[in-house]
């Protein structure tokens, strides 16, 4: 099964792999799976070669665990304990927790750049063949290849990924599931975690400070959802909760946003009640503030705070400056010390916002707008537009009688036209068919003819080699001719390098190919 020096840390029976039943072992150095009632190891993965592990989602019929290696190969194990689903989940969780403690100790530090290059070569066969023709034959070095000949592929690989948007209901989309013990279980994805970090920067700061030094990632998110659930309608109080400070920071940010204001005069975040005209011409009794509305106010405050944080998270990182190089300050509706220019332009923006709310396009008079938005004609000479076309006096016109006489003469010449060759046939049909049969393949005059083109005579391996040599030589010649004229020392040095590369390519690739072609030709001649 294994060497005597290995210790069995965990043994899980009734584990299926590729429709075969067996036992899963977690050793001190590797993970192995053995076929049932046999002493042979069918699957063996060193912990240093395992990149990550994945488990099947909750509610799936099969309880599975998958280990992914650094080379992209994965192995999936299906837990089939006969005692039921809970026993299968317990076995799977034992293996998962054990791997979580073992993998960081054997984590293999793989060069990220080398991994990306291997992935790039495997996904582009043309680039891989070019790499074999130029680098493996020592025509150019690996650094020169990636810096000069593979630039277009690396530029596509280095394009920044598109950032995902933040949904206003991303927390509500996380549907908790009961674990059967009066508890809730949340399944979050990396996209949801990214949305939480974008919306709540204070939570991201707490994550960096506490994970993994003080808490595991699972414990951190458990505390987060507990805090978010129990304190969503409460005022924050002093407690041992690590997210109490986050709530205070969010309140400070909301207060700052309210003081700064927003560029919409129809929105007021500080008001919780609608103001309407009372009966009695405004002499109605004013509503006395009561403490009964604190829960609803706290909920409205939380909704406003969440909306503000989502809107701030969706803003672009780079603000486009104006043409004069200065950024335009936002106009606010809050009471702040604005300068004279802002005070003069704010009523204009407020009037424009109000007009957008009370104006409907389908109720407007379109005739006046059409008259206003007319197309202006730019005429170079107005006389040509005001007067009609004038007759050209330089052209001589033919008399209609003369035109009729010319037509009659042409018709007469056409009637008297005769063919120049004799009416007798040049070749009889029988002679034409006989000549065609003799000149066809298999005929009397075509006995030594082979109906094969040059492309059919060339072997497929020779054709493939010619194509690869052509592409590699074009790549070298492209960089060679780009060095002309060598006006700078850098260009001159590159020209010398490319000339040496062409010489090495001729020695390493073209000469052996020429010899192989001569041998193939001599084989054809002997046959």
Residue pLDDT, tens place only, 277-303:
555 555 555 555 555 456 677 777 777
Domain ranges of the chain: 8-106, 111-153+456-527, 167-272+295-312
Rg over alpha carbons for the chain, rounded to the nearest Å, is 42
Tell me the C-alpha distance between 166 and 309, whole Å.
Answer: 10
Strand partners, 456: none
pLDDT bucket at 473, cuts 50 / 70 / 90? very high
- Higher-pLDDT residue of 62 and 245 is 62
Taking residues 173-194, what's their average pLDDT?
Answer: 75
Q: What is the pLDDT of residue 394?
A: 63
Residue range 409-462, pLDDT digits in tens: 999 988 888 766 666 667 888 889 988 888 887 777 776 655 555 566 778 888
Q: Which are the contacts of 203, defined by CB distance < 8 A and separation ≥ 6?
A: 196, 197, 224, 243, 246
Which CATH number describes the domain made up of 8-106? Answer: 2.30.29.30
For residue 4, pLDDT over 60 is answered with: no
Eight-state DSSP code of residue 103 = G
Average of per-residue pLDDT values in the chain:
76
How many C-beta neighbours within 10 Å does residue 387 have?
8
Strand partners, 30: 46
Maximum mean pLDDT: which of 6-15, 379-388, 450-459 = 6-15
Distances, alpha carbon 507 to alpha carbons 103, 458, 513, 515, in Å: 49, 23, 10, 12
Tell me the C-alpha distance between 498 and 476, whole Å.
Answer: 7
Residue range 88-107, pLDDT digits in tens: 899 999 999 988 888 887 76
Which residue in this structure is represented by tokens 């709530």? Answer: 247
Q: What is the dihedral of CA 67, 70, 71, 75, to 10 degrees?
A: -10
Q: What is the pLDDT of residue 371?
A: 56
Tell me the C-alpha distance between 215 and 9, whole Å.
Answer: 25
Q: What is the pLDDT of residue 321?
A: 43
Q: What is the pLDDT of residue 195?
A: 81
User: What three-state secondary structure class fits 43?
Assistant: strand
Of 71, 89, 72, the residue nearest 80 (C-alpha):
89
Residue range 125-170, pLDDT digits in tens: 888 898 888 888 888 888 888 888 888 777 766 666 666 667 767 6
Taking residues 22-50, what's their average pLDDT?
Answer: 87
Q: What is the pLDDT of residue 523?
A: 65
pTM of the model: 0.35
């Amino acid at each position: 099964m294994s060497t005597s020096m290995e210790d069995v840390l965990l043994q899980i029976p009734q584990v299926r792999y590729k429709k075969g039943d067996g036992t899963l072992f977690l050793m001190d150095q590797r993970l192995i799976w053995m076929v049932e009632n046999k002493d042979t190891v069918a699957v063996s993965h060193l912990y240093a070669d395992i990149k990550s592990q994945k488990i099947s989602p909750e509610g799936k019929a099969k309880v599975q665990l998958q280990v992914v290696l650094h080379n992209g190969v994965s192995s999936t194990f299906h837990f089939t304990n006969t005692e039921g689903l809970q026993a299968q989940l317990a076995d799977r969780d034992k293996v998962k927790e054990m791997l979580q403690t073992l993998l960081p100790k054997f984590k293999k530090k793989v060069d990220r750049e080398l991994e990306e290059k291997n992935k790039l070569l495997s996904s582009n066969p043309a680039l891989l063949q070019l790499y074999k023709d130029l680098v493996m034959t020592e025509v150019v070095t690996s650094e020169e290849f990636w810096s000069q000949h593979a630039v277009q592929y690396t530029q596509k690989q280095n394009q920044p990924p598109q950032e995902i948007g933040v949904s206003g209901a991303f927390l509500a989309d996380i549907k908790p599931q009961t674990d059967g013990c009066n508890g809730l279980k949340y399944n979050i994805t990396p996209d949801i975690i990214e949305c939480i970090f974008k919306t709540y920067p204070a939570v991201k700061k707490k994550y960096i400070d506490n994970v993994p030094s003080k808490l595991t990632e699972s414990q951190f998110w458990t505390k987060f959802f507990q805090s978010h659930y129990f304190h969503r309608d409460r005022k924050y109080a002093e407690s041992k909760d690590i997210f109490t400070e986050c709530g205070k920071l969010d309140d400070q940010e909301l207060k700052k946003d309210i003081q700064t204001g927003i560029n919409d005069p129809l929105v007021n975040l500080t008001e919780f009640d609608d103001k309407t005209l009372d009966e009695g011409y405004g002499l109605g009794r004013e509503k006395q503030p009561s403490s009964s509305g604190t829960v609803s106010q706290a909920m409205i405050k939380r909704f406003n705070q969440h909306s503000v944080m989502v809107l701030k998270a969706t803003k672009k990182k780079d603000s486009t400056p104006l043409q004069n190089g200065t950024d335009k300050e936002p106009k606010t509706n809050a009471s702040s010390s604005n300068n004279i220019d802002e005070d003069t332009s704010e009523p204009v923006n407020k009037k424009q916002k109000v007009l957008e709310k009370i104006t409907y396009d389908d109720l407007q008079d379109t005739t006046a707008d059409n008259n206003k938005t007319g197309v202006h004609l730019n005429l170079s000479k107005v006389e040509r537009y005001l007067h009609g076309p004038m007759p050209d006096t330089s052209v001589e016109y033919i008399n209609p009688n003369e035109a009729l006489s010319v037509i009659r003469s042409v018709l007469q010449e056409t009637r008297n036209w005769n063919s120049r060759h004799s009416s007798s046939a040049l070749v009889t049909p029988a002679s034409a068919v006989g000549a065609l049969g003799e000149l066809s393949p298999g005929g009397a005059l075509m006995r030594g003819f082979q109906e094969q083109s040059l492309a059919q005579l060339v072997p497929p391996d020779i054709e493939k080699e010619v194509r690869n040599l052509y592409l590699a030589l074009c790549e070298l010649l492209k960089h060679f001719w780009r060095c002309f004229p060598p006006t700078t020392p850098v260009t001159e040095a590159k020209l010398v390098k490319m000339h040496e590369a062409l010489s090495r390519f001729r020695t390493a690739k073209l000469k052996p190919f020429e010899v192989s072609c001569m041998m193939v030709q001599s084989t054809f001649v002997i046959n």
